Every structure is written in structure tokens, then in C-alpha cells.
Amino acid sequence: MKRAIPLYLLIFIFLVGGCSSTAKKTPDDKRRAVLSMSNQVLDDLYRVKPDVRAQIARAPGYAVFSNANIKIFLASFGGGHGVVHNNLTGKHTYMRMGEVGLGLGLGLKDFRVVFIFHNAKTMDRFIESGWQFGAQADAAAKAGDIGGAVGGEGFIDNITIYQLTETGLALQATLKGTKYWKNPELN
């Protein structure tokens, strides 16, 4: 069993590295890549839940994050990047994220998260503080368009949250904490 953990760690590093921009790109290239990811995720979400387009249009702002997560028995780790878009000013705030959790499960997952902020104060607090604590239970067996995932939709502290699984194989129930912070290189 001890040999399996380094393999999972290598896969995790590969996934997280794949979610981050490459070091040889300029900050402008990295910003364009994050915005492209955000637009693609929103298009995917609108296909599944067309009413979300109107929710986002009415909201003060929204955020889109790309995340890779690994769950090994009792511990869960994840990381990724994203952007908060302020609908009132048109400003983008580029952010990073990392998460750690405890619970039961095993798996590897690449997923996207969309946050819709229902007031400007909540959005500003998210940008400046960026902490989120919660519980997560999901099952995923997906590669591209093949397979399925049960993720979720939730409403917490004036934020509606949607999760879309890109690829992964996971069965987990986790209590986790996630930290979001401004990306100093891109802001």
C-alpha cells in the first residue's frame, strides 16, 4: 500500500501542474488562458442549466475556478486557479486556490466551480479573505464526455455554487477548508 501513495502524489502534481499556467508564458498569456477557461466553463454550465445565464447577468459578480483534487483514504488535497469578474465595474481579479480536507474516500478529480455572488459585499469579502469551509460528498467516474458525476449545487452566505466535473474517478465524503487568494503575478 505504501507504493500507491507516491503514484497518487505524482498524479496529483501532474493534475495541479496541468491546471496552472506554464512558467514560460507572459502574465498576459496567463490571463488570457484563465479567461478562456472561465468562458468555456460558463458555456458548459449554460448548456446544462440555461437559467444560470440570467442569474449571472443579475448578480454583482461571479467567479470561475479550475481545480484538481486527490483523495487518499483520510486526507484530501487540491489546488487550482480562477478569476472573479465584477459585473458592476467589469474588473477581473485573478486568484489561486488550495484546499485540504479530512474524511473517507479515494480518488482523483479535475473539476470546475462557478460562484455567483448575490451582493457586492460578499464578493469583496471573498476576494479579500477567500476562506471557505464545508462538507462535500460526491461520486465521479468521468473522462471527457464519457461517464458521469454527481457534484452539486449549493447556496451559502449569499453565494450560489455550481460544480462541474471534467474528469476523474472518486468516491468521497470530506470536511474541507479551501483558501482563495489573489494571484500577485496576474493582478
Q: What is the pLDDT of residue 21?
A: 44
| Domain-located, residue 67 | yes
Q: What is the pLDDT of residue 22?
A: 47
Q: What is the pLDDT of residue 131?
A: 75
> pLDDT tens digits for 133-186?
655 444 444 444 444 444 455 657 789 989 887 654 545 566 778 899 999 999
| Domain-located, residue 25 | yes
pTM score > 0.85 for this model? no
106 or 15, which is more confident? 106
The number of distinct structural domains making up the chain is 1
| Domain-located, residue 187 | no
Q: Which residue has the cell 455554487?
A: 161
42 or 110, which is more confident? 42
> pLDDT tens digits for 111-129?
899 999 999 999 999 999 8
Q: How confident is the model over 90-100, as a mean pLDDT?
A: 95
Q: How confident is the model over 22-35, as a mean pLDDT?
A: 89
> pLDDT tens digits for 12-25?
444 444 444 445 79
Tell me which residue range forms the domain holding 33. 4-182
* CB burial string 139-162: b at 16+ within 10 A, e below: bbbbeeeeeebebeeeeeebbbbb
Torsion region of 28: left, alpha or beta (phi above 0 gives left; psi -120 to 50 gives alpha): alpha
Burial class (CB in 10 A: 0-12, 13-18, 19+), 133: exposed
| Residue 77, C-alpha cell as written in the block | 488535497
In this predicted structure, the answer to whether residue 102 has a pLDDT above a threshold of 70 is yes
> pLDDT tens digits for 145-159?
444 444 455 657 789
> pLDDT tens digits for 34-88?
999 999 999 999 998 999 999 999 999 999 999 988 878 778 889 999 999 999 9
